[in-house]
């Protein structure tokens, strides 16, 4: 089946074909770890997770990587200039207050003046939340890339850009990218140099104009011995710009000059992704960095973007523990809420929406239990000719039309299929993509650990088989194995249930 995705680069919905048939290479901009990620951030991360799972559903192997920005993301990120203060620096002040209020627990971040401790605390919190919501890449430590661990490669790329005539050392000692050296600057965002010069909405800062060749030139390396995090470099003790980290790590970890898909939220189109294209193409000499640029629109609160800087945000924990809406919900409910509207429309976070999602998760989970009871838990493999799976696949292939897919699945989940084993097989395949029908209890205490779903489900089935054979030694071994992976093992009339323990 032909998969079609909207490409921000061409402003068109196009047929997706990987550059190389063996594997889809995909990069997602991850969080800046100076605070807890909020559910708006997670709308973007879950969008990337659904793209990956969709491609896997259609049989592609996907190498998906995500970065952790732990240096170089400045508070004035709307300009392409590296103006403002490093967000990690700002965090050091805030964390001291947060420790007093209990928002950061007493034992954590022993020394708030140590940015590495701050970064570690929020990186761990992010990965835990991402795993709770079933973001697959968060289970793959090799594919989570920390900017501070790749400084040497960033310096190599900067040196390459200087050698290729795309970068220079400004009068203030900062290494700048020369946007005039890259004629197609602006092709992603529409912010071409002539438009920027007319002053398109204050999108470039003129603070440093005297030091650089063009007002839109952006920072690659800044020598600053007073900065909160710094490294030796040919251009002085200092730190890298935010944009260079993604260009560098995507190429290094994915091992290609041209990758298939690059994702982020809509605010990253300019300057971040525009600058990434200039840097990568400037270093590789190719005219493309990513074939598909895909962006999620914002999660809104009362008409405004949910954002850390505005303070109008809820974290994953706020929602799951009931602080956001007064009702505790299972992680699957929040996951569904954040993926159910089309990614190219803004969505509003509301209590009503969340409760509707809770109803849908309950319906799906009960449907699975009914199917398991009807076929003794033995699912039959089905292909895309199976009617509901065909409808699901067509909706996904149509630029990730999850709302359309749910429009078919939810009525199906109220029916009583005459072929429960095949229906269960279809259900499993659907749930591998959406991951909204959790194993075990749907109470808020159970985390959604869908990166392990299939493996754990398999162990539960083996345990049931061992019990039936009265091979109690094997059953005990399997029980211990499931427990070791962080699950409580429970027995239900439909067989073994594994319930994830929250850390
Ligand atoms: P940050 O931690 O600020 O670097 O952002 C991480 C990701 O979240 C980026 O891809 C942003 O574009 C995205 N993002 C930030 N706010 C929102 C929002 N309200 N809705 C959707 N995505 C967002
Ligand atoms: Zn990025």
Instruction: Tell me yes or no: is domain 27-296 CATH 3.40.980.10.
Output: no
Distance 440 CA to ligand 1 centre (A): 31
Pocket of ligand 1 contains residue 312 by CB under 6 Å: no
pLDDT of amino acid 468: 87
Contact 400, 393 (CB under 8 A): no
Q: Which residue has the tokens 């896997």?
A: 56
Which of 245 and 104 is assigned the larger pLDDT?
Answer: 245
Distance 175 CA to ligand 1 centre (A): 27
Residue 204 has pLDDT above 80, yes or no: no
Which of the ligands is closest to the CA of residue 268? 1
Q: Is 330 helix (H, G, I), strand (E, B) or coil?
A: coil
The closest residue, in CA terms, to atom 8 on ligand 1 is 41
Residue 441 has pLDDT above 50, yes or no: no
Pocket of ligand 1 contains residue 155 by CB under 6 Å: no
pLDDT of amino acid 178: 97
Whole-number Å distance between alpha carbons of 147 and 126: 15
Handedness of CA 343, 344, 345, 347 (dihedral sign): positive
Residue 499 has pLDDT above 80, yes or no: no
Pocket of ligand 1 contains residue 271 by CB under 6 Å: no
DSSP state of 272: I
Number of C-beta neighbours around residue 485 at 10 A:
14
> What are the pLDDT digits (tens) for 442-480?
444 444 444 455 677 778 888 888 988 889 999 999 999
Distance 67 CA to ligand 1 centre (A): 13
Contact 314, 39 (CB under 8 A): yes
Distance 438 CA to ligand 1 centre (A): 26
Residue 403: is the preceding peptide bond cis (ω within 30°)? no
Domain boundaries, the chain: 27-296, 322-343+350-434, 450-500
pLDDT over 70 percentage in the chain: 92
Whole-number Å distance between alpha carbons of 454 and 441: 17
What mean pLDDT is predicted for residues 124-130? 97
What mean pLDDT is predicted for residues 161-166? 98
> What are the pLDDT digits (tens) for 45-91?
999 999 999 999 999 999 999 999 998 787 776 655 666 788 888 88
What mean pLDDT is predicted for residues 245-272? 97
Which stretch of 91-95, 180-184, 323-327 has the lowest confidence by average pLDDT?
Answer: 91-95
Pocket test of ligand 1: the residue of 44, 137, 145, 339 to mutate, having most ligand atoms within 8 Å of its CB, is: 44
Please count the residues of the chain.
503
Pocket test of ligand 1: the residue of 40, 69, 126, 246 to mutate, having most ligand atoms within 8 Å of its CB, is: 40
Q: Can you read off the two tokens belonging to residue 77?
A: 């990120």
Q: Is 191 helix (H, G, I), strand (E, B) or coil?
A: coil
Contact 74, 60 (CB under 8 A): no
Q: Is 305 helix (H, G, I), strand (E, B) or coil?
A: strand
- The number of the ligand 1 atom at minimal distance from the alpha carbon of 33 is 2
DSSP state of 241: -
Q: Can you read off the two tokens belonging to residue 213?
A: 């060749």
pLDDT of amino acid 336: 98
Pocket of ligand 1 contains residue 134 by CB under 6 Å: no
> What are the pLDDT digits (tens) for 178-196?
999 999 999 999 999 988 8
Which stretch of 86-90, 260-264, 366-370, 382-386 has the lowest confidence by average pLDDT?
Answer: 86-90
Residue 201 has pLDDT above 60, yes or no: no
Q: Which residue, among 174, 187, 395, 153, has the nearest Cα to 278 in the 3D structure? A: 187
Distance 280 CA to ligand 2 centre (A): 12
Residue 318 has pLDDT above 90, yes or no: yes
What mean pLDDT is predicted for residues 122-138? 96
Residue 305 has pLDDT above 80, yes or no: yes
What mean pLDDT is predicted for residues 24-43? 96
Helices 39-57/115-132 angle, 10° precision: 50
pLDDT of amino acid 500: 63
- The number of the ligand 1 atom at minimal distance from the alpha carbon of 264 is 10
pLDDT of amino acid 311: 85
Pocket test of ligand 1: the residue of 49, 76, 267 to mutate, having most ligand atoms within 8 Å of its CB, is: 267
- Strands laid side by side in the 167-169 sheet: 167-169, 175-177, 218-223, 238-240
Pocket of ligand 1 contains residue 147 by CB under 6 Å: no
The closest residue, in CA terms, to atom 15 on ligand 1 is 41
pLDDT of amino acid 128: 96
Residue 169 has pLDDT above 90, yes or no: yes
The closest residue, in CA terms, to atom 18 on ligand 1 is 40
Distance 360 CA to ligand 1 centre (A): 26
Distance 79 CA to ligand 1 centre (A): 16
Contact 495, 372 (CB under 8 A): yes
Contact 87, 73 (CB under 8 A): yes
Q: How confident is the model at residue 231 (pLDDT cuts 50, 70, 90)?
A: very high
Pocket test of ligand 1: the residue of 265, 268, 300, 341 to mutate, having most ligand atoms within 8 Å of its CB, is: 265
pLDDT of amino acid 79: 57
Q: Which residue has the tokens 């919905």?
A: 13
pTM above 0.85, yes or no: yes
Pocket of ligand 1 contains residue 72 by CB under 6 Å: no
pLDDT of amino acid 452: 54
Instruction: Work out the angle at residue 311's Cα, subtended by the Cα atoms of residues 309 and 312, and round it to the nearest 5 degrees.
Output: 120
In degrees and rounded to multiples of 5, residue 36 shows phi and psi of -65, 140
């Amino acid at each position: 089946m032909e998969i079609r995705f909207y490409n921000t680069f061409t402003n068109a919905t196009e047929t997706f074909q990987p550059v190389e048939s063996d594997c889809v290479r995909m990069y997602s901009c991850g969080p800046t770890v100076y605070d807890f990620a909020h559910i708006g951030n997670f709308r973007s991360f879950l969008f990337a997770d659904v793209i990956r799972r969709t491609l896997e559903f259609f049989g592609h192997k996907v190498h998906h990587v995500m970065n952790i920005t732990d240096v170089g993301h400045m508070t004035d990120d709307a300009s392409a200039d590296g103006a403002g203060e490093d967000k990690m620096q700002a965090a050091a002040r805030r964390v001291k207050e947060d420790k007093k209020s209990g928002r950061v627990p007493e034992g954590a971040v022993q020394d708030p003046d140590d940015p590495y401790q701050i970064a570690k605390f929020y990186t761990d919190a992010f990965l835990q939340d991402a795993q709770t919501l079933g973001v697959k890449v968060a289970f793959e430590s090799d594919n989570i890339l920390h900017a501070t661990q790749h400084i040497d490669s960033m310096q190599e790329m900067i040196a390459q850009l200087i050698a290729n005539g795309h970068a220079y050392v400004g009068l203030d000692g900062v290494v700048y990218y020369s946007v005039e050296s890259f004629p197609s600057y602006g092709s992603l965002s529409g912010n071409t140099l002539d438009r920027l010069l007319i002053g398109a909405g204050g999108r470039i800062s003129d603070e440093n104009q005297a030091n650089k060749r063009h007002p839109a030139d952006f920072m690659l390396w800044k020598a600053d011995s007073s900065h909160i995090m710094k490294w030796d470099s040919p251009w002085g003790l200092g730190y890298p710009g935010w944009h260079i980290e993604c260009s560098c790590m995507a190429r290094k970890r994915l091992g290609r000059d041209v990758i298939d898909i690059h994702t982020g939220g809509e605010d990253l189109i300019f300057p971040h992704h525009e600058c990434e294209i200039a840097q990568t193409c400037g270093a590789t000499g190719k005219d493309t960095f990513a074939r598909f640029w895909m962006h999620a629109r914002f999660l809104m609160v009362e008409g405004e973007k949910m954002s850390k800087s505005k303070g109008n945000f809820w974290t994953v924990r706020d929602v799951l523990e009931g602080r956001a809406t007064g009702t505790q919900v299972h992680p699957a409910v929040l996951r569904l809420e954040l993926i159910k509207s089309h990614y190219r429309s803004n969505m509003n976070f509301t209590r009503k929406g969340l409760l509707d999602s809770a109803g849908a998760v309950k319906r799906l989970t009960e449907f699975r239990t009914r199917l398991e009871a009807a076929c003794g838990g033995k699912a039959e493999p089905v292909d895309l000719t199976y009617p509901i799976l065909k409808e699901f696949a067509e909706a996904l292939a149509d630029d990730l039309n999850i709302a359309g897919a749910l429009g078919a699945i939810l009525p199906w989940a109220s029916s009583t299929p005459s072929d429960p084993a095949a229906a269960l097989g279809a259900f499993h395949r659907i749930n591998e993509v959406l991951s909204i029908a959790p194993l075990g209890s749907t109470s808020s205490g159970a985390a959604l650990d869908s990166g392990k779903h299939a493996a754990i489900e398999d162990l539960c089935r083996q345990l049931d088989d061992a019990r039936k054979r009265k091979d109690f030694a094997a059953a005990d071994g399997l029980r211990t194995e499931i427990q070791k992976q962080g699950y409580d093992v429970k027995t239900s009339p439909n067989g073994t249930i594994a319930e994830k323990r929250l850390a």
